[in-house]
């Protein structure tokens, strides 16, 4: 299937579409050091504006996103995929997983508590496909917050899967890496990434 790389949102860095799903990378979270990865499932038969049926939004730390990009471009992810597929499973498992989510307390503060009162788990996965090289997966469901604040998944209620070719995955990596690096360079150029501690201390009379 031909891929749709069209960009309609100015904050959208990349969009890759499947048959009735898509995943997009956005810069909405750059100011807080995050890359936003949004998975969506839609129904083209529904009226315009009502076609979205499910979505999973992931906020990934920039440094983790850069590391993933390096692993993709170095061939590490492809090697892990081949190793996983060599196991002979009909549905190969994930070779990369990023876990996140929102705690029950945070959901309650936003007035968005789950019916079960639990935390919301959100996961971003990369796994080998059975008919395509890779599948990028967004999952959402019930989770539990552990002692370190990590939301541990306990169930999967929504799963959005987008097929990726080898080149799709490389483009994903290049876009993520180039935009993060450009953003960081821009912050140094305009001075927002620099803190003049000497001047601050002088102003405080230190």
Task: List the single range of 1-5, 135-139, 152-156 with lowest mean pLDDT.
Answer: 1-5
186, pLDDT greater than 50: yes
d(CA 68, CA 77): 9
CA angle 150, 99, 54 (to 5 degrees): 120
pLDDT in tens, 2-19: 455 555 678 999 999 998
d(CA 159, CA 5): 22
CATH architecture for segment(s) 12-191: Roll (2.30)
Q: Where are the domains of the chain?
A: 12-191
In a 13 Å sphere around the CA of 154, the CA atoms on its Cβ side amount to 11
For helices 76-85 and 62-73, what crossing angle results, to 10°? 70
pLDDT in tens, 35-92: 999 999 998 888 887 888 899 999 999 999 999 999 999 999 999 999 999 988 888 8
Closest CA to 59 of 78, 41, 39, 44: 39
Strands 134-145 and 119-128: antiparallel
For helices 166-189 and 62-73, what crossing angle results, to 10°? 140
In this prediction, residue 198 has a pLDDT band, given cuts at 50, 70 and 90, of very low
pTM (2 decimals)?
0.85
Q: Provide the 10 A C-beta neighbour count for residue 124.
A: 24
């Amino acid at each position: 299937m031909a891929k749709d790389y069209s960009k309609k949102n100015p904050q959208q860095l990349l969009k890759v579409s499947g048959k009735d799903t898509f995943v997009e990378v956005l810069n909405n979270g750059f100011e807080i050091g995050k890359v936003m990865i949004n998975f969506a499932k839609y129904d083209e038969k529904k009226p315009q504006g009502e076609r979205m049926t499910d979505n999973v939004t992931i906020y990934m730390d920039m440094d983790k996103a850069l590391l993933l990009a390096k692993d993709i471009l170095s061939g590490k992810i492809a090697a892990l995929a081949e190793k996983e597929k060599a196991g002979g499973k009909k549905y190969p498992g994930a070779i990369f997983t990023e876990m996140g989510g929102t705690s029950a307390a945070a959901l309650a503060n936003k007035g968005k508590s789950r019916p079960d009162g639990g935390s919301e788990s959100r996961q971003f996965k990369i796994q080998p496909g059975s008919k395509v090289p890779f599948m990028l997966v967004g999952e959402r469901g019930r989770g539990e917050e552990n002692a370190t604040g990590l939301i541990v998944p306990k169930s999967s209620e929504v799963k959005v899967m987008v097929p990726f070719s080898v080149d799709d995955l490389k483009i994903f990596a290049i876009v993520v890496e180039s935009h993060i690096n450009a953003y960081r360079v821009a912050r140094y150029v305009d001075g927002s990434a620099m803190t003049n501690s000497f001047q601050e201390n002088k102003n405080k009379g230190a």
